[in-house]
Amino acid sequence: MYSVRMRAEKGGRHISGAERLVSEEEIQDSVQSLTGRALSHERGKPDFVNISVEAVKSPVKNLASLPVILHNAGNVMEGRNAARRTLEFLGIPGFCIQKALSLLENGPSDGQSMRGAIIMDMQGNRLEPDRERGVRATRMDITEKAAGELTKSLSGKGLSSYFTHVKEALVLATKVASIDGTVAELCWSDDPYYTAGYVASGRTGYIRIPYLKENGDSHGGRVFFVDNINIPGYINEIENKPVLIDRFAGIREFTDFHTI
Ligand code: AMP
């Protein structure tokens, strides 16, 4: 298999990025579609696009996706409360939750977004070696069959227009949750018009929260909460271990923590 990755910049600032994990016959099509994405992002026309194609040497791990759980928060306050309660349910100390929320709210890299994620331990320490870049999860994708099941489920819930966002986030969250040492992940986009985000973990599934920030706010990011990790080993798995999601685990409404 091959990892095909795209990143687009304008004036040195990150605009968009995406990736696929494909067979040799699919390389050309995926290069074309990723180029199209780079050139048509709502954040603007890039002046630099990098597309890389790289043979994946280690064996690909096949996984079922996390189940998608839809939270019905009606505004940002309810959304943040839902995120806080889920992270508490997973045993993350309150001061770590507060620190993570304010980092994402204010822009984790001196008021700016990071390209990758924060890694935070249970003492609230940030473990990512580069605080501007963060750690990027890569080498992951979803099969057409599993993506088709996700499309169908989302359209049954009236969420078809969010397919690409949810698909990519679910793939990333499933990979991150599968790595030893991950307790939970918190994410909301830095895309100013995408207000949804999620808390994900192996125990709870992928809890999609429709409002984690106000419309028009360009602050966002990701935090991987971890416990007991070997930092280089953990980062190596996040960045390099190839993961292919080949089954979709379904979608349902959030009711309460006892049914998770
Ligand atoms: P997005 O959901 O694409 O808007 O990304 C939201 C935030 O998540 C970005 O600002 C980055 O900080 C982080 N992020 C994006 N892609 C990745 C990735 N592949 N691995 C880790 N963090 C990422």
CA angle 191, 75, 210 (to 5 degrees): 50
Other Cβ atoms closer than 10 A to 18: 17
What is the widest separation between alpha-carbon atoms in the chain? 50
Helix, strand or coil, per DSSP, at residue 123: coil
Mutate to test the pocket of ligand 1, among 109, 174, 190, 243 (most ligand atoms within 8 A of CB): 190
d(CA 222, ligand 1 centre) in Å: 6
Q: Which helix (H) or strand (E) holds 15?
A: strand 13-22
pLDDT digit string, tens, across residues 144-165: 999 999 999 999 999 999 999 9
Cβ(107)–Cβ(208) under 8 Å?
A: no
Per-residue pLDDT band for 110 (boundaries 50, 70, 90) equals confident
* The predicted structure's pLDDT at residue 259: 60
Give 151-184 as a DSSP string.
HHHHHHTT-GGGHHHHHHHHHHHHHHHHSTTEEE
pLDDT digit string, tens, across residues 50-102: 999 999 999 999 999 999 999 999 999 999 999 999 999 999 999 999 999 99
* Alpha-carbon distances of 100 from 86, 157, 212, rounded to whole Å: 14, 30, 13
Pocket of ligand 1 (CB under 6 A): 113-117, 134, 136-138, 172, 187, 189-191, 220-222
The C-alpha atoms of residue 35 and residue 39 are separated, in whole angstroms, by: 6
Q: Which atom of ligand 1 is nearest to the CA of 117?
A: 22
The C-alpha atoms of residue 201 and residue 83 are separated, in whole angstroms, by: 12
**pTM of the predicted model, to two decimals?**
0.95
- The DSSP secondary-structure symbol of 111 reads T
Per-residue pLDDT band for 258 (boundaries 50, 70, 90) equals low
* The predicted structure's pLDDT at residue 191: 87
* The predicted structure's pLDDT at residue 230: 98
